[in-house]
Amino acid sequence: MARHVSVSRFKAECLGLLEEISHTGEGIVVTKRGRPLARVEPMPEAPSLQGSVEYLVSDEELIQPIEEDWDADRR
């Protein structure tokens, strides 16, 4: 069961409560006049991006010169 915190306390202690949530991993329910207003929960761990890239060309193709003349000074 999530801990309940009044909206006035949340406003006054917002940064500290957010730090606490990130360290404990437990969310809180913000209440206004005893009624739930919002739930604040820690963000899930971001998935690793390692291995998620698919190369569509080989290294040789990537550095291979193109057979096209071009003028770098052209405006």
Which CATH number fits the domain that encloses residue 37? 3.40.1620.10
In a domain, 63, yes or no: no
Please give the residue range of the domain that contains residue 30: 1-42
**36 within some domain:** yes
Residue 33 lies in a domain: yes
Residue 3 falls within a domain, yes or no?
A: yes
DSSP at 67: S
pTM of the model: 0.61
CB 3 within 8 A of CB 26: yes
| Predicted local distance difference test score (pLDDT) of residue 43 | 92
pLDDT in tens, 36-73: 999 999 999 899 998 888 888 888 887 877 777 777 77
Q: Report the distance separating Cα 27 and Cα 39, nearest Å.
A: 7
Measured distance between the N- and C-terminal CA atoms of the chain, rounded to whole angstroms: 66
Structural domains counted in the chain? 1
